[in-house]
Amino acid sequence: MTTERGELRIALWQCEPRPAVPETNLDRLDAAAADAARRGADLIVTPEMVIPGYDIGAGRARELADPPDGPIARRVGVIAGRHRIAILYGCAELASDGSVYNAIRLVDAAGTATATHHKTHLFGQLDRRMFAPGSARPPVVDCAGWRLGLLTCYEVEFPELVRSLSVRGADVVCVPTANMIEYDIVQDVLVRARAVESQVFVAYANHCGSENDLVYGGRSEIVSPGGAVVASAGRSPDLVIADLSRAALDDSRRRFPYLDDRRPDLYT
Amino acid sequence: MTTERGELRIALWQCEPRPAVPETNLDRLDAAAADAARRGADLIVTPEMVIPGYDIGAGRARELADPPDGPIARRVGVIAGRHRIAILYGCAELASDGSVYNAIRLVDAAGTATATHHKTHLFGQLDRRMFAPGSARPPVVDCAGWRLGLLTCYEVEFPELVRSLSVRGADVVCVPTANMIEYDIVQDVLVRARAVESQVFVAYANHCGSENDLVYGGRSEIVSPGGAVVASAGRSPDLVIADLSRAALDDSRRRFPYLDDRRPDLYT
C-alpha cells in the first residue's frame, strides 16, 4: 500500500546487534515491523545480517545460514503479512551448492518473497572469511508502487552499482549495512553523492552499538536526490521514518540531468 | 620541480571573471602565477574559460577561441617558463575543422604545452550554445613527478570519469570550473566523494563573483583521498595552496581498497 499522497513511507530500523541468537532477532524484527506499520510505513529496512548477527565467524555463519525457502524466510514472511508491511532484511543464505552468501531479502506486504541479493563486493577479511561473493547484478524490484534497487553495505561505496540500478529504473536504493564508526565518511559524503549523481533516494540502515571488537556508527539516513539528509538517526537505536515523494524526484531529475548527460562511450 | 619533501605544491587561482578581455586576463594570470611561484607552488590551476571569460555567447566564444598553437597558448607558455611553474588554464579552442571547444590546457614549468582536454560533458544550454562536445577521453599526464588527470567543471560530477582517470594512474584530478552558487552541493559532497571513492586528490578551482546573470560560488578546494578538505577558499578571490603527499595517498589507498575491490564484470 502506498500512502494517500502517492508517497512511499520508509522506515529504517537502527538497532544494536545481538550475535548468534536468530530467534531473538526475529522477535525483535517482529516488534520493529509492528511499530513501523503502526506509524504508516510501507517498508522497513534492517541492518546487514540482522538475523544471525554479523561478526559471528565462518562456522556460525554457515550454521545459521538460511536456505532460500528456509525457516527464517518463512518467519519473516509471516511477520510481513501480519503487519502488512514490506521488509528488507539481512541474513546469511545457504545456497544449494553449499556456498554461504551475505544476503538481503525483500518480502512484500503480503508476505511473499520478491527478491534476494547476494553481496558482490565483500568487505575485507571480515566478509571474505564468512562468505562467497555474489555473482549476479543487484536487483531492481517493484515494492509498493515504487522501483527499489537493493545493495548491501560496502557496495554503495561503489558509484557504478548505484548508477547501474538507476539506469535500470530504480527510484530508491535501499542499503542494509553494518558500517563501523571510523567510516563516518560513508554517511557524510558517499551516500549523499550516490543520491545526487544517480538521482535516486538512498535509504541506508545501519547497526549501532558494538559487536566483539567492532563499533558501529549508527547514523542511518534517508537522502533525497538533491543530496539532503531528510531523516537520520544518531548513534543510538532508533526507527527513522521519511516519506519519499515522486514529485520531488521528478523535480530533482530536471534540475540534475545526469542520467541524460552521461556518455557511456567514454567510460570504457 | 617537486618540493624537497617529495610533495606536490598546488595553487588554485580563485578569481572573478572578466568577460571578453583576454589580454587583461592573461596579465592577471601572469600576476597570479608569479604569486604562486613565489610561494613555492609547482602548479597553478585556473577556473574554466578564464582567459576569454565564460558567459560570453557563441559569437564571442568563436571570436576569442585560440588555435592549438595560437597566441594565447604562446603567451601562457612564456608566463609558465618565466615563473618556472606549470599552469592548467581554461580557454576556448578553435580546431582546424572550425569547431569551438571548451578547453583546458596544461603547460609545464619550462613553458611547454603537454596536454589539452576538450570538455566532453556539456552543461546545459550555456555550454551547448557555445561549444562542440569533445570526443576524447580526459587525459592523464605527467606533471612535476605526479600523474595528473584533467577534467572540466560538470565532468567531475560524473563518477565514471574520475574512476577512469584513477584506473589509468592519476594521483591528482585537477578541475577548472565555473560552478554557480546554487550548486554548492558539488563542493560539499560530489568533489569529496570523487576523491574518496577513486582514491585521488582532487583540486577544484572555481570562479567567484558574477558574470551577467550568473553568480559563481567560489569555495575552490583541494580534497584528500580520505575526503578531507585540506585547503579551501570562501566566496572571494583567493589563492589556495596545499601540499599533496604521496605517503598520504599510499596510506589512504591501503585503508580504502576500492580500486582493488572493483568488479567491472558487474558494471556493464
Cα A195 to Cα A201: distance, rounded to the nearest angstrom: 6
In B, which residues are within 8 Å of A190 by CB distance? 193, 196-197
Locate the domains of chain B by residue range: 8-259
Predicted pLDDT at A4: 46
**B191: closest chain A residue by CA:** A193
Q: Across the interface, do A196 and B188 touch by the CB < 8 Å criterion? A: no
Which amino acid does the sequence have at A235?
R
Give the residue numbers of B marked as catalytic: 48, 119, 153
Interface of B with A (CB under 8 A): 120-122, 133, 137, 154, 157-161, 163-164, 185, 188-190, 192-194, 196-197, 226-227, 258, 261-264, 266-267
pLDDT tops 80 at residue A124: yes
Q: Which of A75-89, B4-18, B139-153, B227-241 has the lowest mean pLDDT?
A: B4-18
C-alpha cell at B131: 561549444
Place of cell 591528482: B172
Asked if A165 and A198 count as a contact pair (C-beta separation under 8 A), the reply is yes
CA angle A155, A159, A163 (to 5 degrees): 105
Predicted pLDDT at B6: 67
For A159, which of B121, B137, B159 is closest by C-beta distance? B159
What does each C-alpha distance from B258 to A218, A220, B268 come to in angstroms? Answer: 22, 22, 18
Cα B157 to Cα A197: distance, rounded to the nearest angstrom: 7
For A258, which of B158, B226, B263 is closest by C-beta distance? B158
Instruction: Assign A213 a pLDDT band (cuts: 50, 70, 90).
Output: very high
Q: Across the interface, do B120 and A266 touch by the CB < 8 Å criterion? A: yes
Predicted pLDDT at A268: 72
- Tell me how many residue pairs between chain A and chain B have CB atoms under 8 A apart: 88
Provide the ipTM: 0.96
Instruction: Assign B257 a pLDDT band (cuts: 50, 70, 90).
Output: very high
**DSSP symbols for chain B:** ---TTS-EEEEEEE----TT-HHHHHHHHHHHHHHHHHTT-SEEEPPTTTTT-SS-HHHHHHHTPBPTTSHHHHHHHHHHHHHT-EEEEEEEEE-TTS-EEEEEEEE-TTS-EEEEEE-SS--HHHHHHH-PPP-SPPPEEEETTEEEEE--GGGGGSHHHHHHHHHTT-SEEEEE---BGGGTHIIIIIHHHHHHHHT-EEEEE---SEETTEEB----EEE-TTS-EEEE--SS-EEEEEEE-HHHHHHHHHH--HHHH--GGG--
**What's the pLDDT tens digit per position in A16-49?**
999 999 999 999 999 999 999 999 999 999 999 9
Cα B228 to Cα B222: distance, rounded to the nearest angstrom: 8
Predicted pLDDT at B46: 99
Predicted pLDDT at A55: 97
Interface of A with B (CB under 8 A): 120-122, 133, 137, 154, 157-161, 163-164, 185, 188-190, 192-194, 196-197, 226-227, 258, 261-264, 266-267
Give the residue numbers of A marked as catalytic: 48, 119, 153
pLDDT tops 60 at residue A159: yes
Asked if B225 and B252 count as a contact pair (C-beta separation under 8 A), the reply is yes
Instruction: Assign A2 a pLDDT band (cuts: 50, 70, 90).
Output: very low
Residue B203 backbone dihedrals phi, psi, to 5 degrees: -115, 115
Cα B132 to Cα B248: distance, rounded to the nearest angstrom: 39
Cα A145 to Cα B147: distance, rounded to the nearest angstrom: 48
In B, which residues are within 8 Å of A160 by CB distance? 159-160, 163, 262, 264, 266-267
Asked if B159 and B174 count as a contact pair (C-beta separation under 8 A), the reply is no
**B186: closest chain A residue by CA:** A193
Q: Across the interface, do A189 and B185 touch by the CB < 8 Å criterion? A: no
* Average pLDDT over every residue of A173-201: 98
Q: Exposed (0-12), middle (13-18) or buried (19+): which is B94, by Cβ within 10 Å?
A: buried
**What's the pLDDT tens digit per position in A235-259?**
999 999 999 999 999 999 999 999 9
Q: Tell me the CATH class for A8-259.
A: alpha beta
Cα B102 to Cα B54: distance, rounded to the nearest angstrom: 9
CA angle A52, A239, A249 (to 5 degrees): 110
Q: Across the interface, do A267 and B121 touch by the CB < 8 Å criterion? A: no
For B197, which of A137, A157, A267 is closest by C-beta distance? A157
> SS3 letters for chain A?
CCCCCCCEEEEEEECCCCCCCHHHHHHHHHHHHHHHHHCCCCEEECCCCCCCCCCCHHHHHHHCCECCCCHHHHHHHHHHHHHCCEEEEEEEEECCCCCEEEEEEEECCCCCEEEEEECCCCCHHHHHHHCCCCCCCCCEEEECCEEEEECCHHHHHCHHHHHHHHHCCCCEEEEECCCEHHHCHHHHHHHHHHHHHHCCEEEEECCEEEECCEEEECCCEEECCCCCEEEECCCCCEEEEEEECHHHHHHHHHHCCHHHHCCHHHCC
Cα A183 to Cα A198: distance, rounded to the nearest angstrom: 22
In A, which residues are within 8 Å of B258 by CB distance? 157-158
Q: How far is B223 from chain A (nearest CA, A)?
A: 12
% of chain A beyond a pLDDT of 90: 97
Q: Across the interface, do A263 and B227 touch by the CB < 8 Å criterion? A: no
Interface probe with B: pick from A122, A160, A255, most Cβ of B within 10 Å? A160
pLDDT tops 60 at residue B5: no
pLDDT tops 50 at residue B16: yes
Q: How far is B112 from chain A (nearest CA, A)?
A: 27
Walk across the sheet containing B140-143 and list its strands: B140-143, B146-150, B172-176, B201-205, B221-223, B229-232
Q: pTM for this structure? A: 0.97
Radius of gyration of chain A (CA): 17
Asked if B264 and B39 count as a contact pair (C-beta separation under 8 A), the reply is no
Place of cell 604562486: B36
% of chain B beyond a pLDDT of 90: 97
Predicted pLDDT at B268: 72
* Residue with more model confidence, B108 or B5: B108
> CA neighbours within 13 Å on the CB side: how many for B111?
12
**B259: closest chain A residue by CA:** A158
